[in-house]
Amino acid sequence: MTTSPFDKNHFDYSPWFFWEHSSADERERQLALQAEAMRLNPEVSIGERCFVSEIAAVQMDRMVLGDSSYVAGHAYVTGTLVTGANCTINPFTVVRGEVTLGNAVRIGAHTSILAFNHTMADPDTPVFKQPLTAKGITIGDDVWVGSHVMIVDGVTVGDRAMIAAGSIVTKDVPAGAVVAGNPARVRKWRVKPDAPEGDVASRLAAFADEARASAPRILDRAWDSAGYLDKPGADPTVRAHCDAVEIAAYLLGDVPPQLPADEHVARLRALQDPETGLVPPFDSAGNPDPSGMALVDSESPYSVLSVGYALDVLGSEFAHPIAAFDELGADGTLDYLAALPWEGRPWNAGNYADALGTALLWNRRKNTPGAEATAVALFGWLTAHTDPRTGMWGTPSPADGDLQIVNGFYRASRGSYAQFGVPLPRPQRVIDTVLAHAREGRFFDRENQNACNVLDVAHPLWLARQGAPDYRADEIRRTASLLLEDALTHWVPGEGFPFAAAKAGPRRDAQVPGLQGTEMWLAIIWLLADLVGVSGALGYRPRGVHRPEAAEVLGAAR
């Protein structure tokens, strides 16, 4: 077929033409070479109508080429290669290690598929002398791999995926995905995974129906003559009534049936101390304990959230401003934030920063004198002190890794950036930190989970995605899918959710279903389902403390 003096190796560079346009002599020579290769190495098997260029470097321990597959000129192939039918390894492509291709895998020129890696454990030994690791690479059926792609060891590429030219693939590629970039991320879908989503959506819908049917019993179970308890036999808390209000709003679209709406409002408003605006905790008898009010190291700051948002869900509000925070002013707010234990106990620091931000919300609605100064100081301090490496505040702990900074980030960002609709300063770093933390089995293996730790992953991912919608989107989706699967298993029919996963043996208090666990896991399931794209199947949306949307947009007219 050659028509140019510069095309003497036509089929080596365009092997797809070989069996249609080659001469009888050329076909005979190709078949003889294939037979010789199989004779010399019993581990080589070449199917019908295959082509292997004589100017390729084929140095195989084992090679199985399916029918109508080819290896073009200047390809470099070593190790073990097993392909299905109609696979192509185009010019200047490198395939090394243990590589398995399905049917109809087309690999563009200058691509490298490297199924091994050098170790570097010993800094005193040159890397080339250190041992190799090899996990293998598997590529499914009907996959298009563009030119100049790099696929590293350990990757699996799903069926019907496409990898854009120039991509560096370091993570598994979902079936049907179109990935691009360095590192490659899902950009769109060639074949959207509707069937798996449909299965998840059906399960979520069934769960939500059961939860709605169970809601009256869950609320009755927590009610005694004096009010709500988190669970039967528990000490009374301020939070229990607030959780009951939010559960009823999620699942019943109404107030808890034990009291009329105006009585719920009256009881909650009566808890506030009119002078400070704080809510004192209950003692063991269920009476307010004014000695327990403080801006740190007490339960009162959290009640700014729980009681304030319960009243908000009920269409009401605190009777008085949160004066204890409003009186700080700009300088006092900066001093308050700086004094929080960000380095030793960042979760606690985030908790109090959250209370400050939520007090700001209620005070802005009452047009208090210090509200605007507090807003400027709060966002100024948090933005200035965001760690550029993690996107968070504080430092990891040798004992529990990133647990404290991630949990503290959720609390602080919930009461600031999320609550007021302000973009995060470093959303990509937040995603990096949270995804790395979510791989910690001691916190996220199913039997080790609790609502606090999972919520503090779900919400930061949901929030950070708003500012970086394409960043590591496939990994976020996979992480959310796994956590969602686990979350549904914690449900106890007729009783709700425990705060912590139930284990074998005697159940500790946190493993008994209660109002706190139920409200938190309902919010978690919605957030995770929304990250997966199926939250609509639930038929509810979190309200109150764990609402996903901003409560007020900072700077908007009030």
pLDDT of the residue at 187: 82
Domain-terminating residue out of 134, 164, 192: 192
Residues 380 and 265 in one domain: yes
Q: What CATH number should be reported for the domain holding residue 271?
A: 1.50.10
pLDDT of the residue at 402: 94
Residues 132 and 67 in one domain: yes
pLDDT at 523 over 70: yes
Residues 265 and 375 in one domain: yes
What's the pLDDT band for 502 if we cut at 50, 70, 90? low
Segments in 106-260 forming alpha helices (H)? 194-221, 238-251
Does some domain include residue 261?
Answer: yes
pLDDT of the residue at 359: 96
DSSP-derived pairing of the beta strands 143-145 and 105-107:
parallel
What DSSP line would sit under 494-506, residue for residue? Answer: TTB-BSB---SSS
Residues 371 and 461 in one domain: yes
Residues 417 and 364 in one domain: yes
What size, in residues, is the chain? 558
pLDDT of the residue at 95: 97
The domain of 17 spans 10-192
Give 123-150 pLDDT, tens digit per residue: 888 988 888 888 899 999 999 999 999 9
Does some domain include residue 445?
Answer: yes
Strand partners, 170: none
Q: Quote the CA–CA distance of 6 and 43 in Å, as a whole number.
A: 36
What's the pLDDT band for 193 if we cut at 50, 70, 90? low
Residues 222 and 235 sit within 8 Å (Cβ to Cβ):
no
Give 460-477 pLDDT, tens digit per residue: 999 999 999 999 998 999
DSSP-derived pairing of the beta strands 137-139 and 185-189:
unpaired
pLDDT of the residue at 120: 80
Does some domain include residue 442?
Answer: yes
Residue with more model confidence, 192 or 487 = 487
pLDDT of the residue at 503: 58
Q: Quote the CA–CA distance of 243 and 500 in Å, as a whole number.
A: 16
pLDDT of the residue at 192: 63
Residue 317 backbone dihedrals phi, psi, to 5 degrees: -160, 170
Q: Quote the CA–CA distance of 45 and 547 in Å, as a whole number.
A: 60
Give residue for tokens 């919300």: 361
Residues 188 and 205 in one domain: no
Does some domain include residue 5?
Answer: no
Does some domain include residue 4?
Answer: no
Q: What angle do CA 308, 483, 430 make, to 5 degrees?
A: 65
Q: Quote the CA–CA distance of 175 and 162 in Å, as a whole number.
A: 9
pLDDT of the residue at 6: 83
Domain-terminating residue out of 129, 157, 192: 192
Residues 407 and 523 in one domain: yes
Of 70-79, 286-295, 423-432, which range is least confident? Answer: 286-295
Q: Quote the CA–CA distance of 39 and 116 in Å, as a whole number.
A: 28
Residues 181 and 227 in one domain: no
Residues 110 and 224 in one domain: no
What's the pLDDT band for 196 if we cut at 50, 70, 90? very low
Does some domain include residue 64?
Answer: yes
Residues 223 and 126 in one domain: no
pLDDT of the residue at 159: 87
Q: What is the number of structural domains in the chain?
A: 2
Q: What CATH number should be reported for the domain holding residue 134?
A: 2.160.10.10
pLDDT at 248 over 70: yes
Residues 430 and 496 in one domain: yes
Residues 273 and 296 in one domain: yes
Domain-terminating residue out of 192, 221, 240: 192
